Chains A and B, each alone.
Chain A
Amino acid sequence: MKLLDRWKILMGGISLLPMAGTALAQANPLPLADASWQPNEKLQPPVFADTLNPPDAVNIYAAHRSHSSHRSHSSHSSHYSGSGGYSAPRYYNPPATSTRSYTAPSTSSYGAGGASSSSGGNTLYQQSGSTAGTGSTSRTRPTNEQKSNLVVRVQTALTVRKYYQGAIDGLMGKATRGALMAFQMDSALTVNGRMDTPTLNALGIRIP
């Protein structure tokens, strides 16, 4: 090591001492910005892959044929190239019932609290219109009320994002579906007008 280098190191050490003034510290000849301070692609802010709903979340509202098709969205991308699909929203097709085959529904707790006993005679407070979750809710198909509740949340999210101006009524009508498809288009999602998991993630909606 050359004497000059030793001197540099000594200076660097001194600059840590409180008695060394800042002027001296700044006069330190050692380069402050060496190669490791250059912008580095590896130092870009991390992009988290986590989403509100995991990719394999059971989304009974997506109206897909089968559970496994969540993984094959790329195959849907042909929809996307369709001639400006969202300008002419399609009608909502009720979910096909025959081919639905969720084999192992995880014990997700939608309709939470359904097990608790709603002890009758709650006369004190106006009982709200209807009690969600009562009755036998099947795991594979949402009740009309569950579906309507999710549509209300989708409509609200689209309203806040200025895609939707209609009434928030829980009905998946033309205007709502059109707004949903416009949102999907702008968000580079599959434009299918469905409440599928990627769309709900983009809207910030947790699957109930």
Chain B
Amino acid sequence: MLRKETHFEICNLTGPRLLKVITVNEFIQKGLAVCAGEASFHDLLLWLPAATLQDDPQLLSLPVGGFLVPDALTTPTQDTLLVLHSPKELDVVQPGDVVALTPNSTLVRVLYRRGSDSNLLFMTDRCNSLCLMCSQPPKDIDDHWHIEENLRLIDLMDPGEENLGISGGEPTLYRDGLLEILAKCKTVLPQKSLHVLSNGRLLKEPSWIEALAALQHPQLSWGIPLYADNATEHDHVVQAPGAFSETIQGLYNLARAKQIIEVRVVLSRLTTPRLPELAHYVFRNLPFVRHVALMGIESTGLARKHHEALWIDPLDYQEPLSQAVYFLANRGIPVSIYNLPLCLIPPHLSHFARQSISDWKNLFIDACQQCAAIEHCSGFFKSHTDRWQSRGIHPLSIEAFGAYARSAH
């Protein structure tokens, strides 16, 4: 797990900045081509270890936006240069990353991490649902500025093939902003595949069909949650009357726009009893779905408040999970199990399990240290606590893991 923010000593920061970290060598070799989109030298934050700085002090005359010294800084610098030094955690900010700085704060946020598979364009804190297990409870604030930040962030990312998530909150709340970002991604980052997480409710609006069809992004997919095969239960989970119907209409509109669709189900005491029926519903009514993700719950945010209503030991839903997985898999619908450690999944389901937890919030607990499967296991969310720990957590021996490996066919 590598956190997404850390503290630096920051000198001479006058306003909020978004900066691309770059080494001297990469600056010489590639110049502004490290940024996928439009950029100038003032968008660059030169990575200058103290030893390099001592060797070539005149590098400080480079007309870049600022300098990042990943060690303690001994010599005082001019009082006009933006200089970051003495990071609290060294590994958090690395060359290639894009960082955000705010005045009067020592916090440096990593908005883009080079080489990570979990980079995210965060769109908003607002949401039109209030799911019982929401990991990021919505805030009713005007945060339209996220759009501008993301448009700028897109320019400063590395070009090339990578995955990029778009999430929130509910990203479709800012319809024009989202469409602008999707269009810009297509122009500036055509090789990056996008995955939008949305509850799909606003997509019931037919104008999305035309907008998305016109966009024609080659690698755009949508992850839409569906929690039951009926409106009553789904609406209860998302705490919004009418949500089921809206989401289904949204799913159909996405299909009309020929979008790639994934259905996501968070596994809880509320959703697991009718999991086989939900699988049946998806197969019958949403045949265009390309992937179904059955996801272990993330024990943070509102989920902690609703522990009583939501918690079910994964050992206790193995049967419905197994039925749903095989129902879909046997009918040719790709299906995955997310966020569940391998020791909680019967061996015959293990080849559906994925290492799905974003790297910056993924960890392994003490019980995992002797486990033979740790390299292949999803592990836990960093929010994991004893209250959310299954009675089935145990290290797998090499022999036990062999049974998992043999059943993977």
Contact = CB atoms under 8 A, between A and B. Distances in A.
Contact of A132 (B39, B62, B152): B39
B62 A112 contact: no
Contact of A116 (B24, B31, B184): B184
A39 interface: no
Contacts of B207: none
Interface stretch (B13-21, B224-232, B344-352): B13-21
Interface stretch (B53-61, B196-204, B239-247, B367-375): B53-61
A130 interface: yes
B149 A159 contact: no
Interface stretch (A85-93, A164-172, A186-194): A164-172
A157 interface: yes
A112 B59 contact: no
Contacts of B24: 156, 160
B104 interface: no
B151 interface: yes
A112 B33 contact: yes
B29 A128 contact: no
B158 to A, nearest CB: 12
B58 A167 contact: yes
A205 B38 contact: no
Pick from A117, A119, A156, A166 the residue with the most CB of B within 10 Å.
A156
Contacts of A121: 148
Interface residues of A, number: 41
A95 interface: no
A62 interface: no
Given A115-B187, A133-B38, A126 B17 contact: yes
B28 A113 contact: no
A22 B56 CA distance: 55
Interface SS of chain A: loop
B41 interface: yes
Nearest to A133: B38
Contacts of A116: 37-38, 155, 184, 187-188
B117 interface: no
Contacts of B38: 112-114, 116, 118, 131-134
Interface string A106-145: 0000001111111101111110111111100000000000
**What's the interface size class on B, roughly?**
35 or more
Contacts of A129: 40, 42
A25 to B, nearest CB: 34
B377 to A, nearest CB: 37
B32 interface: yes
Contacts of B36: 112-113
Contact of B28 (A130, A166, A203): A203
B406 interface: no
A150 B31 contact: yes
B250 interface: no
A130 B40 contact: yes
B58 A119 contact: no
Contacts of B35: 113
A204 interface: yes
B31 A149 contact: yes
A153 B29 CA distance: 8
Given A131-B40, A205-B28, A166 B148 contact: no
A168 B59 contact: yes
A152 interface: yes
Nearest to B180: A119
Interface string B209-226: 000000000000000000
B32 A149 contact: yes
Nearest to B155: A113
A62 B249 CA distance: 59
A208 interface: yes
B97 interface: no
B63 interface: yes
B32 A159 contact: no
B28 A204 contact: yes
Interface in B145-170: 145, 148-149, 151-152, 155
Q: Which 5 A-B pairs have the closest CB atoms?
A: A128-B42, A113-B37, A167-B61, A113-B38, A128-B40
Given A113-B155, A124-B152, 18 more contacts: A112-B33, A112-B36, A112-B37, A113-B187, A116-B188, A119-B180, A123-B148, A124-B145, A125-B17, A126-B17, A128-B65, A131-B40, A133-B38, A153-B27, A153-B28, A168-B58, A204-B28, A206-B31
